[in-house]
Amino acid sequence: MGSLGLILARVLQAVPTLFGIVVVTFLLTRALPGDPAAYFAGAAATPESIAEIRAQLGTDQPLPLQFVRYLKDLGSGNLGQSVSTGQPVASELLRRLPASLELTLTALLISVSVAIPLGVLAAVRQDTWIDQLCRFVVTAGVSLPTFFTGLLLVYVFYFLLGWAPAPLGRLDMLHITPPPVTGFLVIDSLIAREWSTAWSALKQLLLPSITLALFTLAPIARMTRASMLQALASEYLRTARAAGLSSSRVLMVYAFRNALLPVVTTLGMVFSFTLGANVLVEKVFAWPGIGSFAIEALVVSDYAAVQGFVLSMAVLFVLLNLVIDTLYTLIDPRVRIDG
Amino acid sequence: MTDITINTITAAPRSSAWSRGFAHFRYVMTSNPVTLLAFVMLAAMILIAVFGPALVPHDPLATAADKALKPPSLQHWFGTDQLGRDVFSRVIVATRLDLLISVSAVALSFFVGVAMGACAGYWGGWFDKLSGRLLDTIMAFPLFVLAMGIVAAAGNTIQNIVIATAIINLPFYARVARAEVSIRRNAGYVQAARLSGNSELRILIEKILPNTLPPMMVQLSLNMGWAILNAAGLSFIGLGVRPPTAEWGIMVAEGANFIVSGEWWLALFPGAALMLAVFTFNLLGDGLRDLVDPQRRT
């Protein structure tokens, strides 16, 4: 089977997973305490008006029928109305998604570009100070609550040093939001040639993404170190050395490329943590992404919004995993041969 | 029988199981000082959780408007919060609630996960397929987000925080249990037990499960820190614990509003306590893992 066929098979595998996610979010919606119709009708509702709303929502029908209706709604992109904003949940989520993606992707970029060199160096210079540093970063990284690191950074870099702007969203009041192209403010303002806006947006972005990066650094660095150690101890590496290849070639081509594969697989778990931690970081920095939208919705018991958030996060996670597996198939020739 | 083998191998004088256990514990502790430190910290934390509320210098809920937002001093070691409550007392008192939430969540998911994984690994068949599907579906969600959804749907109470944390921890235990049981399913000693007429359930519970405990204990300790982080994260975003209850997550959330104006002690001390607790369990887990499986040392 060619790699294209394998990728296609992997995409098909995601279908039952997606179905499972939809079933769980549906069940979560039905598990709410009390009657959503009574909730929507408000305090002054009569039994008739509640029954009317119930019929309107479809909650008077048996569960399987409700599920079919839910599927139909999802198919047409309808995630329900948000009680708190009065807007459709789907459009609200779409409007806020770029902010969350900008934060998450920047954080991942930072953490990958720090964690992988750190892990490699720790493995190559085992038991030196850099290895100890790596161990310290890994242990501290998994022990620090994200929201706590965020607050510490705000205190040090905003209050004490004054280097960072106030943790209040994506852009300060002085700048006008550039016309949206990608939805990423930094890139958009670069496209619009608004240099000072780009700089300001970048400064706002820096602290939250470093916070998130510190959290995701640990698992990536740990995995890189472990798999690099394994590659360094392997027989093909001994052969490569014995054949007289230069040490940089042995290290970068033979050891590093093989060590990278397990790291790519851990990225899936890292994404799971990142998307969760994203919610906390967004709250700390008042970042207007889908996480803070969900928190606002939680506070006022806006269930449709919360369920829409959970569903879209899960779908995002499945898609990210799909991308990773596709990458894996492309990088690793063994997968193609075994398949 | 085990008594005899151990005594002949180590040639130690016959001693009670208790003192042998203690000797092994001492050996483990002295071989790795970090694990020893983690055990001491755990013991201190348990002592604080048990006796802390009786020993604190101030009432954790007593407000005093004239003493609001005072920095740490001799009288108030960790300062006072926006309502004049003593932060030190609140951090100490919160230990019990935080440990209780995470211990009960982890215990719940440990027992359910082991039972599920053991049955799936031992008998296989439809139950294995069904539970595997269920676990895959749980893992298909970003776990913290799933916990948020569960708490939002089931109601905003501490009990539901425990259940949600237990559910997102379930896959880790069930998978380890399934793997450990299924590799022992047809081991020599299991076949011997089967031939001598033991029932399947008895074999599973008395012969196989005790042997899977060491790797399970490691998983338990490694997950404990993560469970604390998740529970605190949930209360940080306003789920579960409600003010004025003292809990680390919610205390950090309340202190967050004052960080930008420089009142650092409100968020720092509960945050540091949280970090220390997670750190303790992570060290403990790493130490235990080195003990059980020296090969996986990283």
What is the per-residue pLDDT for A337? Answer: 56
Rounded distance between C-alpha atoms, residue A22 and residue B24, angstroms: 50
pLDDT band at B116 (very low <50, low <70, confident <90, very high): very high
Please state, for a pLDDT cut of 70, what percent of chain B lies above it. 88
What is the per-residue pLDDT for A336? Answer: 62
Which residues of chain A fall below pLDDT 70? 1-2, 31-44, 56-60, 173, 333, 335-339
Is residue A19 in a domain? yes
Rounded distance between C-alpha atoms, residue B144 and residue B232, angstroms: 11
Residues A146 and A268 in one domain: yes
Q: What's the predicted TM-score (pTM) here?
A: 0.83
Per-position b or e across B250-266, b if 16+ CB within 10 A of its CB: bbbbbbbebbeeebbbb
Rounded distance between C-alpha atoms, residue B205 and residue B211, angstroms: 10
Examine the pLDDT at B172 and tell me if it is beyond 80.
yes
Q: Which of A177, A156, A154, A157 is nearest to A167 (CA)?
A: A154
- Read off the DSSP letter of residue A81: B
pLDDT band at B3 (very low <50, low <70, confident <90, very high): very low
Residues A252 and A334 in one domain: no
Supply φ then ψ for residue B135, to 5 degrees. -65, -40
Average pLDDT over residues B110-132: 89
Residues A120 and A252 in one domain: yes
Examine the pLDDT at B108 and tell me if it is beyond 90.
yes
The answer to whether the Cβ–Cβ distance between B237 and A317 falls below 8 Å is: no
Q: Which residues of B touch A21 (CB under 8 A)?
A: 137, 140-141
Which chain A residues in 121-160 lie under 8 Å from chain B, judged by CB atoms? Answer: 139-140, 142-148, 151-152, 154-155, 158-159
Is residue A195 in a domain? yes
What is the per-residue pLDDT for B17? Answer: 66
Instruction: Kindly report the nearest CA distance between residue A322 and chain B, in angstroms.
Output: 11
Query: To which residue do tokens 């031939």 refer?
Result: B195
Q: Which of B158, B160, B159, B139 is nearest to B149 (CA)?
A: B160
Instruction: Kindly report the nearest CA distance between residue B237 and chain A, in angstroms.
Output: 7
pLDDT tens digits along B26-62: 776 676 677 788 888 889 999 988 888 877 777 777 7
The parent domain of residue A60 ranges over 1-84+300-339
Residues A273 and A165 in one domain: yes
Selected residue of A272, A275, A292 to mutate for chain B interface (largest B Cβ count, 10 A): A272
Question: What is the SS3 assignment for A335?
Answer: helix
Examine the pLDDT at B9 and tell me if it is beyond 50.
no
Is residue A90 in a domain? no
Please list the alpha-helical segments (H only) found in chain A.
3-30, 36-41, 47-57, 63-75, 89-124, 129-143, 146-154, 185-191, 195-232, 235-242, 247-249, 257-284, 290-299, 303-331, 333-338
ipTM reported for the complex, 2 dp: 0.83
pLDDT band at B105 (very low <50, low <70, confident <90, very high): very high
Listed in sequence order, the residues at least 6 apart from B255 whose beta carbon sits closer than 8 Å to its beta carbon are A151, B81, B263, B265, B266, B267, B268, B270, B271
Instruction: Kindly report the nearest CA distance between residue A179 and chain B, in angstroms.
Output: 31
What is the per-residue pLDDT for B166? Answer: 93
The answer to whether the Cβ–Cβ distance between A21 and B153 falls below 8 Å is: no
Average pLDDT over residues B125-144: 88
- Residue pair B145/A276 in contact (Cβ under 8 Å)? The answer is yes
Residues A101 and A16 in one domain: no
What is the per-residue pLDDT for A298? Answer: 80
Is residue A91 in a domain? no
Examine the pLDDT at B132 and tell me if it is beyond 80.
yes
Domain ranges within chain B, ordered by starting residue: 104-234
From A157, which residue of chain B is nearest by alpha-carbon distance? B260
Please measure the distance between the N-terminal and C-terminal CA atoms of chain B and give it in whole angstroms: 36
Rounded distance between C-alpha atoms, residue B140 and residue A265, angstroms: 15
Phi-psi sector, B124: left (phi>0), alpha (psi -120 to 50), beta = left
- Read off the DSSP letter of residue A68: H
Rounded distance between C-alpha atoms, residue A6 and residue A338, angstroms: 11
Question: What is the SS3 assignment for A234?
Answer: coil
What is the per-residue pLDDT for B298? Answer: 44
Residues A201 and A311 in one domain: no
CATH code: domain B104-234 is 1.10.3720.10
What the block records as the tokens of B179 is 């793997």
Q: Which of A271, A266, A170, A260 is nearest to A215 (CA)?
A: A271
- Residue pair B98/B234 in contact (Cβ under 8 Å)? The answer is no
Is residue A89 in a domain? no
What is the per-residue pLDDT for B5? Answer: 44
- Residue pair A101/A205 in contact (Cβ under 8 Å)? The answer is no
pLDDT tens digits along B94-104: 888 888 998 89
Beta bridge partners, B86, equal: B80
From A160, which residue of chain B is nearest by alpha-carbon distance? B262
Rounded distance between C-alpha atoms, residue A307 and residue A312, angstroms: 8
CB atoms under 10 Å from CB of A66, counted, come to 17
Residues A107 and A245 in one domain: yes
Residues A247 and A145 in one domain: yes
Q: ω into residue B244 within 30 of 0, thus cis?
A: yes
Per-position b or e across B142-181, b if 16+ CB within 10 A of its CB: bbbbbbbbbbbbbebebebbbbbbbbbbbbbbbbbbbebb
Residues A187 and A315 in one domain: no
Question: What is the SS3 assignment for A299?
Answer: helix
Rg (CA), chain A: 24
The answer to whether the Cβ–Cβ distance between A283 and B236 falls below 8 Å is: yes
Q: Give the total number of structural domains in chain A.
A: 2
- Residue pair A119/A225 in contact (Cβ under 8 Å)? The answer is yes
Residues A276 and A322 in one domain: no
Selected residue of B35, B133, B145, B259 to mutate for chain A interface (largest A Cβ count, 10 A): B145
Q: Report which residue type is found at A173.
A: M
What is the per-residue pLDDT for B12? Answer: 46
3-class SS letters over chain B: CHHHHHHHHHCCCCCCHHHHHHHHHHHHHHHCHHHHHHHHHHHHHHHHHHHHHHHCCCCCCCCCHHHCCCCCCCCCCCCECCCCCEHHHHHHHHHHHHHHHHHHHHHHHHHHHHHHHHHHHHHCHHHHHHHHHHHHHHHCCCHHHHHHHHHHHHCCCHHHHHHHHHHHHHHHHHHHHHHHHHHHCCCHHHHHHHHCCCCHHHHHHHHHHHHHHHHHHHHHHHHHHHHHHHHHHHHHCCCCCCCCCCCHHHHHHHHHHHHCCCCCHHHHHHHHHHHHHHHHHHHHHHHHHHHHCHHHCC
Report how far apart, in Å, the C-alpha atoms of A295 and of each of A305, A307, B211 are: 10, 12, 44
Residues A222 and A335 in one domain: no
Angle, alpha carbons B70-B76-B77 (nearest 5°): 110
CB-based contact (8 Å) between A29 and chain B? Answer: yes
Q: Which residues of B touch A225 (CB under 8 A)?
A: 298
CATH number of the domain that residue A146 is part of: 1.10.3720
Between A152, A276, A298, which is nearest B239 by CB?
A: A298
Instruction: Kindly report the nearest CA distance between residue A50 and chain B, in angstroms.
Output: 20
What is the per-residue pLDDT for A110? Answer: 92
Residues A306 and A261 in one domain: no
- Taking all residues of chain B, what is their mean pLDDT, rounded to a whole number? 81
